Structure 1
Amino acid sequence: MTPMLEAEIKGSTQDVDDGFFNRVVEQRVRRTGVTDASITEFVQNSGLYNNNTKKWNNIKKTTVEKKLYEPFYKIFQKVIAAFKLEEREAINTFNVKIQHIEGDTGDTSLKTSPDLFIYGSGPNFYSENLKLKFEEKADYKYCASPCEVKTERNLEEKVLTQVGVYARQCFMQQGNRHYVYSLVMTEKRAFLLQFDRNGLLRSKYINIHENPKDFIYLILLISSPNCTTLGFDTTIYWRGDKRYIETLNEKGQRVEYEILKSKPLFQRRTIRGRGTLCWLGRDPDGKLRVIKDSWQAEGRGLESDLLQEVEGVQGIGQMVAFEPEKLTIAALRGMEGKELPTGMADRLFRRIILRAYGQQIDKFTNRRQLLHAFRDAVAGHQRLWDRNIIHRDISVNNILIGEEGAEEGWRGLLIDMDMAVRWQQAATMAAVDFRTGTRAFQAILVISSEMDKADGKILLAHDYLDDLQSFFYVFCWVCMRYTPTGERLKSPPLGDWETGTPSALISVKSAFLNPIVTEHNELVNTFGQAFQDLFDGLRDFTREMHRWKLLNRATMPNKLEDMKPHSDKNYAKFLKLVDKAIVALDKEQQGEQQPDPCPSSQQGPLSNSSEQPSVPAPPPSNSGSSQQIEPSSSMKRTRDQRDADENEMDVDEQDGPPAPKRTQTRSLRTQTRPLAQPLSGKAPAASTNVVAAVANPAAPVMRQSTRLRIGSTQAAPNVQAVMRRQSTRSRN
């Protein structure tokens, strides 16, 4: 995570103004009852500072960092004792390995050692009334402020990233932090760091010997008995061994929700950004709710406004209440009205309370539940699109399985409207942006937007086709990284989708869309022929829509009324493929022979045309949206079953680009690592060929096994080598 953290901090560091120390540090310390006179008295009478030499005892010029640990530790200890900070304690942790927790996996193999650690107790920390041993206190769950000691000689900019690693663990393991303070000290100087959702605020250096009172002010700030001053969200607290959050219910009343399992239901791992965090809570009446906190950039529309607009819309998670905006990063920094670094906007804290549903789509328990959840979420996305709203952040985290026994249309739900925009706003219509969405599921044109802009290319609007491409990646992610019953594979593929440079990701995803695939000797898992056929169909659809946008870059419509004719048909095409898979799965599980609900005469968009129109032709007048079609009888038979989580439409042949010829059924486990080297640095030479192959799917295709193959740990051969073999076969 260090390179990612470096990228977060780079370009996002705000330096304080000259009045910061008096306006922020001194004032926040004095609010706790500490006076300037008491600090002066401590410096003069503590026995730690020599008033004649104007030096702190035992803190001397050195090139050995370890010699500074004990003197600083003693100063911290004595400050905390003298000012009676009963719920704070200084811990010398330079030689203590403190465990990390990474994401959903709970990985605790990584450990770090802040040089000095302010331990905190009380209702806003992990649990109150704990009596812990020393080694138990050295835990990021109880960390008020992690501190670092350096020498003047080894003080470098990388210390910001080093301390950022500690701060990130405080955010992740505590869950109720708006920001995290840290103090960096040398034998001569000290400075304050504040990590928050806008990155990093860095104070000016103070000379600890010439300004001993200022040094004590800094220690008192990062050890404050006031948890709000330390950056805690005090509406989230412990009482005994249970955790609670105080917020609004559907009647607008402030009530206390018990947080189930005491941990966030979902949490973004990065420091800088939206910092989205969700809690699963139970209100006093026993109703389950999801409380979602996030930090939105100033100027962005309110998610609560969009959720009010889509109240009652099937397939979309429903809001029951929201809190008015109060907090901003600028206010938390004490830097209101101050200039931000170029490209950075202030962020506002937003909390909404949502109806609770099932778990994320990758927590499915059987194949039918997975397909139903996927289907209803896509249909919900179309309903958003029909209301001039584009979601722009389709990911496994943002698709939920419906409640047990949910009706059709509610078996899968699309959530998280943080990145959603209304299309009627002209400023948002040419908005493909590399920074928008979740990296692993971004469409290729979104990933390439930064490079396209630099090359002077026309930036296409982020439209429904980009989100449908993301839905395809979600389907692949879930099917390739889990078993049919929902167990996560030990060494799942597609990890490269989360990392790498834009050029490398474009190469990888372009190869993934290409019908060139590899055979695998080892089968890790099999979802069945219905899923294999669905993968083939969705991949063909996704590749052709991507090609169509590329070929029509200069003439693509950017108004909803111009796009609606072909969007109706493309949604229908996509949903029909899913419906076909649902019918086939039902037949498979009933032991019946699978019919073909999609006759071969119904080809993809513009299947009889060899040329691309600059604007897609409108559908016939009898073509409607998928919401108007009754579900198949096969689906009706399963709607009340526990594992059920809408609808067939004919697709007009004049929509979009020509459909490729159907090949033999191909492997779901496609070429995900077409490169001979890791995903870093310059894009591999294979990328040009791969992108060209996606733009021209008429290239020869390997004959494939008809069995579904996914999740293989065997490395795929180089794409260029595969293509050379294909070319040779074609010539022969």
Structure 2
Amino acid sequence: MPSLAKASRSTIQPRIHWTRARARAAQAIEREPPVANSDLPIAVGTSSSTRKVPPVEEAEDPVAGPHMRKLKAEIALELGEEVTIVGEEWTKSLYAEVVGDTALDAFLASVASGYRQDEGRWANLPKGPSEVSELYEPIFDIVSHIISELGEPCGEGATRVVVNSHTSRFTQPKFKALCPDISIKATGASFQRGREIDDYLDGVGYASVASVFDVRLEGRSNDIDQAIQAGFYCRQIFMRQPNRNFVRSLVITEHSVRMLHYDRSGFYLTPLIDIHNNPRTFIRLVLGLSSPDESVLGLDTSIQWTINPATGMKTAGIIKTVDADGQPITYNLDMGRPPFYRGSIFGRGTTCWYANHSETGSDVVIKDIWRTRGKTSECDFLAAAQGVDGVVQMISFQDRCAETLAYRPPDFSTNGFEPRVKSRTTMPHYGKSIQHFTSRYQAISALRDALAGYRALRAKGILHRDVSSHNILLGSSGGARGCRGVLIDLDMAAWTWDLTRLRAETGLGQRRYQSHSVLYNHRLSLPPRHDHLDDLESFFHVLCNLVLLYEAPGKISKETEEEFALCDVERVVTAGNAKINFMCYPIAIQCWWGDPCRQLFGAFQSIVDNIGQQKHTFYLDRELTPEAKRDGMEAIAEEKEDIYDKVIELFDEALADIEAEDAGSTTVPATTSADSPAEQPPTVTNLKRCSGEEHPDAPPPKRPSPTCPKDSESFEQEDLVSPGLPVSPIGAGAVAPAIDHAPAPTIPASPIVPSDEVKAGTSLKRRLDDDTLDNPPPPKRSRPSKPAAPPKPRKRALKAPAALPPPPQGVRRSARLNRC
């Protein structure tokens, strides 16, 4: 395996503010977006400036207003507060090829254009409108005339139609606040008629528009407000048209026009261009955003569909790429499976297309992804993983399909801008993700083989860093050992010797599966590198996702699912605290999984907990320097090089037991009824305690002592925090745990492995509820005075109760008098 020697750390890698995590966090926002501020910072891509105007409050739509506020808050969180404005000269050069100067002069000189050269303005536009509604019809007429007179002719099956959202024909009041003012409705190889429920106007939706325009009054909105509004439109277009490379829109006022551009590297605005003094620039922008050439609109034309003219729906499609020899090849898209895509605007923009070979019929998955220019291509990791069982295999790779830098002015540079490159990878089509298991054996074997594949990857110097349930696929039915589960998605991987890229970041991976060490990392000035132990904990959370969430194949516990949903919107510190606390407790898994999975889960939990407690001790030690904390945590990883071998042995033992059980009995393990205390879902109160919300300064609880009384019936699942599920702050004013002031936790000498012989200790609910005055004390359990006494006399006494003297307190006074 490549050397893991430490490299120089003189240069600290800047932190990654991952767009996907920010967009995911926005889903829980219920507040209004930040008030637009005219003093927000402006980043200038080239020499230019922008006018600053104070925001003006407008009347809110009573129906769509609250929903729109939430959507705008999500967009604002993703866009940030910095606006980049490019130069005016470059803006004027855009779309110069779509129409010549001679045609422009002839159009502007005609009466039909609506432009008066003697006055130097568009005659139909009011000079001082008091309401924005006065501009809808004049601007609609101008745009319609420009496209009809100067637009290039559309090919067969393609059209461009200007639609005014404010005409009575398209009236749908509940969507007024959620749709653009003017839409360029399109038909062609990349557009289709959407579902009626998705249309924001009658027959018009984001799946069938080339671009959209917003109409505003001059000086009634600022840059960030316009960017957020247009960002909402553009995100919808990205999702409904997954072959988009970029999306552009216009904001038009009575005096000016500006273009807003969005792609996977970010967004920028053009300066406000006076449409009266610069009518040619205005005309070219309108023609460019309504072009019949789909590549000009920002669409990837290597992906095309056949449209049914009667229904307007896509009936067949193709995708072009290269084969293993680098030669062009065309695959047929699987129209029964829509592509997978990410909902955010910025970032990787992952899109997976399901297709099949036109001759052999073999199924493939074609993955499009935008990586930062300086990042190692996934192709390099996939090439190193060729022939490794349990890891995705690559058929072909096509690099530099597009670049975001090509959509910007020359020498474009601004704070935070990272050029991205689009690549296309073709892979075999494996099964569904591991959540779609059909038996215990299939789920556990798939996870086991993914672990083995990860071990083999690391032997080749590759660290995955994005382990999750979605990135572990089921292998073919009846597949050989090692191929029953497949680890995919290496685009976040890194070489183990590239220490500058191994810095642990909370933006790598999904919150539900991140290790507590990665979540705590942001508090350290010198955080340790992401290591194989962090990924091991991610595998443990995948197992938790299976055995705690699923009551049977395809059957999810609704109560537990609600708790799992909290993890994606949790604060980082609280999430880390919940995970380190959670791993200290014995956990009751869903009964359907049986004893082999219960023992596997307990043993895996003990291993992960032992590692977590060791790392957490360094976090809490205030006497250590940042360098000592980092080096100490990294040393733990170096000491546990063979940890994956031990975990895989646990899986092999569990699989052998499951196979023996399945062979010996065809009955499915009985599940506890919904009323059973052992199957109650975690309560919010107890989840809150486990996350540290009620006692922010309290250290992680110690593991129950092995000498505690064993009472399996006293252990209730409602007292457990779901694994890997950071708990959302409940109530206003929740305070995150203060890690640096908590005493160091005690690492248990010998971990407890829940099994049939060693049951859970004293009821966790009883211990927790004793500290809560609002909860009544739990009923006491009756116990025999001598637990070691043989039970047979008691059983015989129960069979012949008449032979026993009645207890004194159970006899009425009248009965005693009668005996006397």
CA gap 1:386/1:186 in 2 versus in 1, 3 angstroms? same
CA distance in 2, matches of 1:540, 1:527: 19
CA distance in 2, matches of 1:719, 1:674: 22
The answer to which of 532-541 and 67-76 deviates more is 532-541
1:64 aligns with 2:131: yes
Show the counterpart of 1:632: none
Show the counterpart of 1:88: 160
Show the counterpart of 1:476: 544
CA gap 1:166/1:537 in 2 versus in 1, 3 angstroms? farther
Cα drift, residue 171 of structure 1: 1.2
Show the counterpart of 1:214: 281
Aligned to 2:281, what secondary structure does the other structure show? helix
Show the counterpart of 2:444: 371
Aligned to 2:354, what secondary structure does the other structure show? strand
Cα drift, residue 322 of structure 1: 0.6
**What pairs with 1:190-339 in structure 2 (closer than 5 Å)?**
190-240=257-307, 241-261=315-335, 264-284=338-358, 285-331=360-406, 333-339=407-413
CA gap 1:380/1:209 in 2 versus in 1, 3 angstroms? same
Show the counterpart of 1:617: none
CA gap 1:515/1:208 in 2 versus in 1, 3 angstroms? same
Cα drift, residue 497 of structure 1: 1.5
Show the counterpart of 2:109: 44
Deviations 1:667-715 (Å, cap 9, x if unpaired)? 7773258868449x97635x3489969944769x999999xxxxxxxxx
Q: One-letter code of the match for 1:17?
A: G
- Contact preservation (8 Å) 2:366, 2:426: yes
Cα drift, residue 559 of structure 1: 12
Aligned to 1:567, what secondary structure does the other structure show? coil
CA distance in 1, matches of 2:279, 2:367: 43
CA distance in 2, matches of 1:328, 1:97: 40
**What pairs with 1:55-134 in structure 2 (closer than 5 Å)?**
55-56=121-122, 57-85=124-152, 86=154, 87-93=159-165, 112-126=178-192
Cα drift, residue 582 of structure 1: 2.6
Show the counterpart of 2:721: 671
- Contact preservation (8 Å) 1:221, 1:229: yes
CA distance in 1, matches of 2:85, 2:322: 36
- Contact preservation (8 Å) 2:550, 2:590: no
- Contact preservation (8 Å) 2:184, 2:211: yes
CA distance in 2, matches of 1:265, 1:115: 29
Unpaired runs of 5+ residues, structure 1, are 101-108, 595-657, 707-715
CA distance in 1, matches of 2:552, 2:304: 39
- Contact preservation (8 Å) 2:199, 2:205: no
**What pairs with 1:382-461 in structure 2 (closer than 5 Å)?**
382-429=455-502, 431-452=503-524, 456=525, 458-461=526-529
Deviations 1:97-125 (Å, cap 9, x if unpaired)? 9999xxxxxxxx99932222212221122
- Contact preservation (8 Å) 1:61, 1:188: no
With normalisation by structure 1, the TM-score equals 0.76
Greater Rg by CA: 2
CA distance in 2, matches of 1:382, 1:703: 24
Show the counterpart of 2:213: 147
1:182 aligns with 2:249: yes
* 2:100 pairs with one of 5, 10, 35: 35
CA distance in 2, matches of 1:282, 1:693: 58
Deviations 1:485-508 (Å, cap 9, x if unpaired)? 124566623112111332333344
CA distance in 1, matches of 2:532, 2:364: 29
- Contact preservation (8 Å) 2:580, 2:612: no
CA distance in 1, matches of 2:611, 2:173: 46
Cα drift, residue 182 of structure 1: 1.0
Q: One-letter code of the match for 1:44?
A: A
Cα drift, residue 278 of structure 1: 0.9
Cα drift, residue 254 of structure 1: 1.2
Q: One-letter code of the match for 1:125?
A: F
CA gap 1:722/1:265 in 2 versus in 1, 3 angstroms? farther
Cα drift, residue 196 of structure 1: 0.6
Aligned to 2:331, what secondary structure does the other structure show? strand
Aligned to 1:147, what secondary structure does the other structure show? strand
* 2:569 pairs with one of 489, 499, 519: 499
Identity %: 28
Show the counterpart of 2:237: 170
CA gap 1:71/1:507 in 2 versus in 1, 3 angstroms? farther
- Contact preservation (8 Å) 1:127, 1:239: no
Cα drift, residue 269 of structure 1: 1.6
Cα drift, residue 250 of structure 1: 2.6
Aligned to 2:508, what secondary structure does the other structure show? coil
Deviations 1:263-285 (Å, cap 9, x if unpaired)? 54421221110111111110122
**What pairs with 1:440-589 in structure 2 (closer than 5 Å)?**
440-452=512-524, 456=525, 458-487=526-555, 492-493=561-562, 494-515=564-585, 526-552=592-618, 554=628, 563=637, 566-568=640-642, 570-589=643-662
1:26 aligns with 2:95: yes
Q: One-letter code of the match for 1:208?
A: I
CA distance in 1, matches of 2:371, 2:766: 42
Q: One-letter code of the match for 2:500?
A: A
CA distance in 1, matches of 2:488, 2:401: 23
CA distance in 2, matches of 1:42, 1:695: 79
- Contact preservation (8 Å) 2:373, 2:419: yes
CA distance in 2, matches of 1:124, 1:223: 14
**What pairs with 1:713-728 in structure 2 (closer than 5 Å)?**
none
CA gap 1:251/1:392 in 2 versus in 1, 3 angstroms? same
Show the counterpart of 1:6: 76
CA gap 1:703/1:565 in 2 versus in 1, 3 angstroms? closer
- Contact preservation (8 Å) 1:208, 1:215: yes
- Contact preservation (8 Å) 2:599, 2:755: no
Q: One-letter code of the match for 1:389?
A: I
Aligned to 1:19, what secondary structure does the other structure show? helix
- Contact preservation (8 Å) 1:68, 1:187: yes
Aligned to 1:292, what secondary structure does the other structure show? strand
Show the counterpart of 1:626: none
Q: One-letter code of the match for 1:161?
A: I
CA gap 1:76/1:540 in 2 versus in 1, 3 angstroms? farther
Deviations 1:202-253 (Å, cap 9, x if unpaired)? 1111122332222211111111111111110110001341011011123332
- Contact preservation (8 Å) 1:532, 1:667: no
CA gap 1:575/1:79 in 2 versus in 1, 3 angstroms? same
CA gap 1:294/1:230 in 2 versus in 1, 3 angstroms? same
Show the counterpart of 1:654: none
CA gap 1:661/1:414 in 2 versus in 1, 3 angstroms? farther
CA distance in 1, matches of 2:611, 2:703: 10
CA distance in 2, matches of 1:280, 1:26: 34
RMSD of Structure 2 on Structure 1 (CA): 4.2
Cα drift, residue 378 of structure 1: 1.3
- Contact preservation (8 Å) 2:505, 2:521: yes
Cα drift, residue 719 of structure 1: 11
Deviations 1:609-650 (Å, cap 9, x if unpaired)? xxxxxxxxxxxxxxxxxxxxxxxxxxxxxxxxxxxxxxxxxx
Aligned residues: 626
**What pairs with 1:549-698 in structure 2 (closer than 5 Å)?**
549-552=615-618, 554=628, 563=637, 566-568=640-642, 570-591=643-664, 670-672=720-722, 677-678=729-730, 684=735, 687-688=737-738, 695-696=745-746
Show the counterpart of 2:806: none
CA distance in 2, matches of 1:660, 1:110: 59
CA distance in 1, matches of 2:375, 2:571: 27
Q: One-letter code of the match for 2:78?
A: E
